């Protein structure tokens, strides 16, 4: 959802550049990330006769608290992209199971194909691997902590994935108003602007369209409803259920409350009680 939102906002009438994941599995250093952003932005800066809007998408778990605070210092605003963790973690388990059984980025197994053994193996990897410790790749502890640390700094806004996919004609104009950029219909349908996926800098043969983690957002021409129903609790190992309902769901509920505390929602038909999130 966050990559798709970045692509949508990159279709504004303003000169802009979208950089996907300057912080990633390969890099957590703020200077390296800044170098990648400058590399992406320099051509636009050289050609533009107006300020250039720079959009970056980052996964919370790849930024330590000190790095996040440093990055926040150069941001004019932050959009917190969240979606119901029951669906987000179901998707994460599916992607992880594919990576364990086949290759990273594989899409051979659909969520409906998962066996309890697949879910158990993915859970153990998310809980205790070199890449993900205590479900760190799921990101809910990190994003909750970063949100708390950001209070009182630059303006921040919450964008819920369910509303983005179901009602982009309401959420995107609202976000554009708050961010101070021009809304255009092509933000919803008609994506054409290129973007930099930093993963290509580490692997020249990397192909967005072949990576299940990003291919839909990278190849789509507009907002598409894509969410599957969540995994049944009965197939979740105890550790996954504890994380989901003890950490992820309470953190998501905090963001939902923050979303509905935002100003100007009623002008866009997004006021509390009108639409069900999740």
Judge whether residue 278 has pLDDT over 60: no
Report yes or no on 46 lying in a domain. Answer: yes
Report yes or no on 277 lying in a domain. Answer: no
How do beta strands 156-160 and 78-82 pair?
parallel
pLDDT in tens, 117-149: 999 999 999 999 999 999 998 999 999 999 998
> How far, in Å, CA of 20 to CA of 59, rounded?
10
Report yes or no on 149 lying in a domain. Answer: yes
Question: Helix 249-260 and helix 140-150: axis angle, to 10°?
Answer: 40
Report yes or no on 197 lying in a domain. Answer: yes
Domain count for the chain:
1
Report yes or no on 38 lying in a domain. Answer: yes
Report yes or no on 187 lying in a domain. Answer: yes
> How far, in Å, CA of 218 to CA of 224, rounded?
12
pLDDT score at 202: 80
pLDDT band at 277 (very low <50, low <70, confident <90, very high): low
The answer to whether the predicted template modeling score (pTM) of the entire model surpasses 0.85 is yes
High-pLDDT (> 90) share of the chain, %: 71
Report yes or no on 278 lying in a domain. Answer: no
Report yes or no on 274 lying in a domain. Answer: no
The CATH number given to whatever domain includes residue 50 is 3.40.50
**Which residue range is the domain that position 31 belongs to?**
2-268
H, E, C per residue of 138-155: HCHHHHHHHHHHHCCCCC
Alpha-carbon torsion (252, 22, 214, 12), positive or negative: positive
Pairs from 185-191 (Cβ < 8 Å, separation ≥ 24):
186/11, 186/222, 187/8, 187/9, 187/11, 187/12, 188/8, 188/222, 188/223, 189/221, 189/222, 189/223, 190/11, 190/221, 190/222, 191/7, 191/8, 191/10, 191/11, 191/220, 191/221, 191/222
């Amino acid at each position: 959802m966050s990559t798709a939102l970045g692509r949508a906002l990159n279709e504004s009438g303003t000169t802009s550049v979208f950089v996907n994941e300057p912080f990633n599995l390969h890099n957590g250093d703020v200077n390296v990330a800044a170098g990648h952003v400058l590399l992406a932005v320099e051509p636009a800066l050289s050609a533009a006769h107006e300020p250039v809007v720079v959009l970056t998408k980052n996964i919370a778990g790849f930024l330590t608290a000190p790095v996040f605070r440093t990055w926040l210092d150069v941001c004019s605003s932050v959009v917190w992209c969240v979606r119901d963790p029951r669906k987000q973690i179901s998707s994460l388990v599916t992607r992880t199971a594919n990576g364990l059984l086949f290759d990273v980025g594989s899409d051979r197994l659909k969520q409906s194909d998962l066996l309890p053994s697949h879910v158990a193996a993915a859970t153990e990897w998310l809980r205790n691997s070199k890449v993900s410790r205590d479900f760190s790749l799921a990101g809910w502890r990190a994003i909750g902590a970063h949100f708390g640390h950001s209070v009182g700094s630059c303006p921040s806004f919450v964008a819920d994935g369910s509303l983005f996919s179901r009602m982009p004609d309401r959420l995107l104009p609202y976000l554009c108003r708050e961010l101070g950029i021009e809304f255009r219909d092509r933000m919803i349908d008609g994506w054409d602007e290129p973007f930099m996926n930093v993963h290509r800098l580490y692997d020249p043969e990397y192909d967005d369209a072949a990576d299940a983690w990003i291919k839909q957002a990278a190849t789509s021409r507009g907002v598409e409803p894509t969410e599957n129903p969540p995994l049944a609790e009965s197939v979740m190992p105890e550790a996954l259920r504890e994380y989901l309902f003890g950490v992820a769901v309470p953190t998501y509920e905090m963001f939902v409350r923050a979303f509905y505390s935002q100003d100007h929602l009623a002008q866009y038909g997004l006021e509390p009680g009108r639409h069900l999130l999740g």
